[in-house]
C-alpha cells in the first residue's frame, strides 16, 4: 500500500438525506472540513479516535452552529448519538474505538438558514487484519470448471457492427453481440481499438451495477493510448437503445427489489442470474483473444464497483488474464450481515436490499459468487483502489477482498473518496497497466 491521499478532508456537503449525501457535490455554498487526529485516518484496535469539525459558508467560518452526529460501525446502526457546538468555528467529536478490525462512521448534520446539510467521515481500526465472513465451498473450483466447460460448447457467433458516431481518426468503434452461457443467451459490448494497424493488448471492462445506457467515449483514452478495449453490457440488451428505454428497463429489473436481477434465482447456485454474468465475462475474453490485432500476450480486466468485482472474478476464472485493476469491488462478503455485528458488502442483502433475507439457501448460493472466494484464487498482479467514505461498497469489504489476495498486489487508498474515483486515478491505472505489460 504505497500511496495515500490527503490527511485532511476538505469536503462539501449535500442537501439530502444521509444515505444520498455526497462529499463533493457540485458548486455548493457549504464546505465541511473534518480532520481525524490520525493523519492517515487509521488506528489500531483499542485506540481512541477523534475528529475536528469545521463548517464554512461561502468560505466564511461559521461559529455557534450546533452539529448533530451519530456514530456506528461501517453500514450498521449507530451506537452513539449527540451534538456539539462550533466554538471559534470548530468542535471535536469523539468517535470511540473498536475491539475488532473494522471502520466507524460518523454521520453529521447542521441546520443553516432553514436548510439541513449532511456530511460523514469513516476511520479504520486495524483494517489490514480484516478477514471475510464468507468461506469458500469445497467444490468451488469444480463448480466453476463445470460451468466453463458447458459454456465452451456454446458457439460465440459474434455479430459486429461499425459505429461511426463513436469512431474518429484515431479510434474505431464497433457494437458487438456475443452468444454466451447457452444458445439464445447474449451479451453486447462496445469494442474500441486503435485505427492504426498493429498488435495491441486487450482490456475487458465489465460494467457497474444496474441496467444502464452506455457511452464508450468515456473510456476512449484506452484505445487512443494503444489498447483494444471491450466495454461490456451483461444483460443481453442492445446498448444502442435510447437512454429512455434503459430507464424503463432499470425501473423493472435494476433496482433493489425481489424482481431485481441481483436477486433473480438466488436460492440456488445453478439458477442464480449472476451465473450467466460471470460466464459472459469469460466469453468476452474469448472474443478479444480471437481478434487478429491482439498482441497474443496481454489480457487485462478492469472495472469499478460491480465491474471491479467482475474484473477480479474473471481474472480468477480465466488463466488468459495477465493483469487486473479493480476499483471498490462490489459483491464482496455479501453474506456477512448474517452475523450480528458484521458489516457486509453490496448489494447489502438483509440490510438495504428489499425483500431478500440471508437464509441458509441464499448464503450457500452467495458463497459460490462472492468475490472474496475468487480473490483467493488469483495468481496474477492486481491493482486495487478504494475510499473509506464509500457507503455503496464499504471499505470493510474492500479490505476483506484485498487481504485475501496472495498474488502480487498494490493498493491506492483514497480515504476521502465515496463511491467514485478521480479522472487522474483512471489515467494512473492505465499507466500501471502499461508498466506491467509483457
Query: Element (H or E) spanning 178, and its range?
Result: strand 171-179
Return the pLDDT at 247.
87
Closest alpha carbon to 136 in 368, 294, 306: 368
Per-residue pLDDT tens over the stretch 291-328: 999 999 999 999 999 999 999 999 999 999 999 999 99
Catalytic hit among 305, 343, 367, 400: 305
Q: For residues 328 and 387, give the distance between their C-alpha atoms in angstroms, rounded to a whole number.
A: 7
Within 76-170, strands assigned E span: 78-85, 90-96, 102-112, 115-125, 159-162
CA quadruple 123, 101, 355, 144: dihedral positive or negative? positive
Active site residue 169: no
Per-residue pLDDT tens over the stretch 213-245: 899 999 999 999 999 999 999 999 999 999 889
Q: For residues 205 and 190, give the distance between their C-alpha atoms in angstroms, rounded to a whole number.
A: 10
Q: For residues 286 and 280, give the distance between their C-alpha atoms in angstroms, rounded to a whole number.
A: 10
Active site residue 235: no
Return the pLDDT at 17.
31
Q: For residues 397 and 202, give the distance between their C-alpha atoms in angstroms, rounded to a whole number.
A: 29
Catalytic hit among 311, 370, 390, 398: 390
Active site residue 164: no
Return the pLDDT at 79.
97
Residues (pLDDT < 50) of the chain are 1-22, 24
Q: For residues 42 and 125, give the distance between their C-alpha atoms in angstroms, rounded to a whole number.
A: 6
Nine-digit cell at 291?
Answer: 481478434
Burial class (CB in 10 A: 0-12, 13-18, 19+), 280: buried
Cite the DSSP H helix spans in 215-305.
Answer: 220-224, 243-253, 274-290
Residue 96's alpha-carbon distances to 45, 72, 124, 404, 426, in angstroms, are: 10, 9, 11, 28, 35
Closest alpha carbon to 54 in 96, 8, 18, 16: 8
Return the pLDDT at 398.
98
Please give the full DSSP string across 181-204, using - where no structure is assigned: SSTT-EEEEEEEEESS-S-EEEEE
Residue 181's alpha-carbon distances to 16, 146, 321, 366, in angstroms, are: 42, 12, 19, 19
Nine-digit cell at 42?
Answer: 487509521
Q: Which residues contact 257 (CB under 8 A, 6 or more apart)?
A: 263, 354, 355
DSSP letter at 62 equals P
Question: In this structure, are residues 432 and 424 in contact, taking their beta carbons and an 8 Å threshold?
Answer: no
Can you list the domains of the chain with their CATH numbers? 3-128 (2.60.40.1930), 140-435 (3.40.50.1820)
Return the pLDDT at 157.
97
Amino acid at each position: 500500500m504505497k500511496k495515500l491521499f490527503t490527511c485532511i478532508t476538505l469536503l462539501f456537503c449535500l442537501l439530502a438525506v444521509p444515505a444520498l449525501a455526497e462529499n463533493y457535490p457540485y458548486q455548493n455554498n457549504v464546505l465541511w472540513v473534518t480532520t481525524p487526529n490520525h493523519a492517515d485516518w487509521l488506528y489500531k484496535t483499542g485506540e481512541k479516535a477523534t475528529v475536528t469539525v469545521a463548517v464554512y459558508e461561502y468560505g466564511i467560518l461559521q461559529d455557534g452552529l450546533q452539529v448533530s452526529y451519530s456514530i456506528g460501525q461501517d453500514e450498521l446502526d449507530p451506537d452513539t448519538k449527540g451534538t456539539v457546538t462550533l466554538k471559534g468555528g470548530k468542535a471535536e467529536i469523539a468517535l470511540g474505538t473498536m475491539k475488532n478490525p473494522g471502520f466507524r462512521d460518523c454521520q453529521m448534520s447542521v441546520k443553516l438558514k432553514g436548510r439541513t446539510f449532511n456530511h460523514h467521515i469513516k476511520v479504520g481500526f486495524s483494517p489490514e487484519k480484516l478477514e471475510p465472513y464468507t468461506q469458500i465451498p469445497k467444490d468451488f473450483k469444480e463448480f466453476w470448471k463445470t460451468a466453463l466447460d458447458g459454456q465452451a460448447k456454446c458457439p460465440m457467433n459474434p455479430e459486429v457492427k461499425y459505429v461511426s458516431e463513436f469512431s474518429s481518426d484515431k479510434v474505431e468503434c464497433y457494437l458487438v453481440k456475443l452468444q454466451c452461457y447457452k444458445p439464445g443467451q447474449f451479451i453486447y459490448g462496445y469494442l474500441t481499438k486503435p485505427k492504426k494497424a498493429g498488435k495491441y493488448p486487450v482490456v475487458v471492462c465489465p460494467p457497474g451495477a444496474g441496467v444502464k445506457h452506455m457511452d464508450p467515449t468515456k473510456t476512449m483514452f484506452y484505445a487512443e493510448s494503444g489498447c483494444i478495449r471491450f466495454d461490456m453490457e451483461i444483460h443481453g440488451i442492445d446498448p444502442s437503445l435510447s437512454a429512455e428505454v434503459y430507464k424503463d428497463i432499470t425501473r423493472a429489473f435494476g433496482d433493489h427489489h425481489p424482481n431485481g436481477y441481483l436477486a433473480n434465482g438466488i436460492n440456488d447456485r445453478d439458477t442464480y442470474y449472476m451465473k450467466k454474468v460471470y460466464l459472459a465475462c469469460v466469453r468476452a475474453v474469448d472474443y478479444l483473444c480471437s481478434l487478429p490485432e491482439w498482441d497474443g500476450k496481454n489480457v487485462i480486466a478492469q472495472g469499478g464497483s460491480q465491474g471491479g468485482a467482475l474484473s477480479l472474478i474473471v481474472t480468477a476464472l480465466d488463466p488468459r488474464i495477465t493483469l487486473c485493476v479493480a476499483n471498490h469491488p462490489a459483491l464482496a462478503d455479501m453474506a456477512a450481515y448474517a452475523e450480528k455485528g458484521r458489516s457486509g458488502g453490496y448489494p447489502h442483502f438483509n440490510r438495504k436490499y428489499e425483500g431478500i433475507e440471508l437464509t441458509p439457501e441464499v448464503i450457500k448460493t452467495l458463497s459460490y459468487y462472492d468475490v472474496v472466494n475468487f480473490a483467493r484464487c488469483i495468481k496474477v498482479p492486481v491493482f486495487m483502489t478504494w475510499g473509506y467514505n464509500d457507503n455503496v461498497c464499504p471499505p470493510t469489504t474492500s479490505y476483506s477482498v484485498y487481504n485475501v489476495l496472495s498474488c502480487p498486489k498494490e493498493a491506492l487508498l483514497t480515504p476521502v473518496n465515496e463511491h467514485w474515483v478521480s479522472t487522474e486515478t483512471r489515467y494512473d491505472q492505465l499507466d500501471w497497466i502499461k508498466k506491467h505489460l509483457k
